[in-house]
Amino acid sequence: MNFFKKIFSSEKKDSSISEQEKQTLNKGLEKSSTSFFSKLTKAVAGKSKVDDEVLDNLEEVLVSSDVGVDTTLKVIERIEARVARDKYLGTDELNIILREEIAGLLSETNTGNETDFDIPADKKPYVLMVVGVNGVGKTTTIGKLAYQFKKKGFNVVLGAADTFRAAAIDQLQIWADRVGIPIVKQQMGSDPASVAFDTLQSAVSQNADIVIIDTAGRLHNKVNLMNELTKVKKVMQKVVADAPHDVLLVLDGSTGQNAFEQAKQFTAATEVSCLAVTKLDGTAKGGVVIGISDQFQIPVKYIGVGEGIEDLQVFNKTEFVDSFFKV
């Protein structure tokens, strides 16, 4: 492990995020990074040169680190091309090459360059609809997002349109109180579209900058979900013509490949425009972010790397890859 450490610590670059945020990101990805490097060390044991056997082992390492088969094959192809070009690659360079090739692969998607919580300047209020199955950290993500937006000086209003679970409305109320922002809610079992309508009317009358709408986390019936979300959108458009401006799908990173499946199912049911991947700090499956970022033509916008209120970060692919390949 030491020679990996040596290579990495020698390469210090200017970070586009604050020192505190970088430390949080490093800590949040620590399990994923450590697990990956222990597998990589075994994969190159006794080898000095990157050959077919090393590449086969590397393929296994990437797939078992939840990067996903399709993305793994792309990475291996890129490294094969590099081996063919450079004729000789030492295994001691492999982690730097991996970092460069995965960063190169992700740079083909023109997203993940943000470093701050921003919204489009021409949308007021900017309406964000949040979807995702129960248990992925949807309500917590909304609360932390609201906190970050408020910290930047935006006026935020929450809408509790997940009316199927009393706990969801209560949880959102707790976050609204904690952040110190208004929430619009109705009784459990109310029509979600009605809550969304009231929320937008309230936001417009308060001259709010941002509206975040929580929606029901059910996926057992795709048609029902599709119909419900379509209805919520249509009703919102009576108040704000082009709402919602974004549909954010929240995925639990600790479920690894299941997160891929959820992303596939939700994107089939509704137009998802961006993703948040949560719970990365408690898992070794952080590689899933690399796969999701590559596979879906939908940008990963936010990542959850800790339990603290500050631990939701804007996804910056350069910083993510840098922290993932750091031991």
SS3 state of residue 301: strand
CA–CA distance, 78 with 97 (Å, rounded to integer): 10
CA–CA distances in Å: residue 279 to residues 64, 245, 311 = 18, 25, 10
Q: Position 173: which residue type?
A: Q
Does 2-9+17-106 match 126-316 in CATH topology? no
CA distance 202 to 159: 10
Residue in the block written with tokens 């996926």 = 219
Q: Label the pairing between strands 312-314 and 300-304.
A: antiparallel
The model carries a pTM of 0.88
Domain ranges of the chain: 2-9+17-106, 126-316
Question: Does the bond joining 299 to the residue before it have cis omega, within 30 degrees of 0?
Answer: no
27 close to 305: Cβ distance less than 8 angstroms: yes
List the structure tokens of 292. 């999701």
pLDDT at 191: 93
- Say which CATH topology domain 2-9+17-106 has: Four Helix Bundle (Hemerythrin (Met), subunit A) (1.20.120)
Q: How far is CA 22 from the centre of its chain?
A: 16
Domain 126-316 class in CATH: alpha beta
d(CA 211, CA 1): 47
Backbone angles phi, psi at 8, to 5 degrees: -75, -40
Per-residue pLDDT tens, the chain, 327 aa: give them.
343 343 333 344 445 678 888 999 999 999 999 999 999 999 888 889 889 999 999 999 999 999 999 999 999 999 999 988 887 888 888 888 888 888 888 877 666 677 788 888 889 999 999 999 888 999 999 999 999 999 999 999 999 999 988 789 999 999 999 999 999 999 998 999 999 999 999 999 999 999 999 998 776 566 787 888 889 999 999 999 999 999 999 999 999 888 888 888 888 878 899 999 999 998 989 899 888 888 887 888 999 999 999 999 999 888 999 899 875
15 touches 23 (CB < 8 A): no
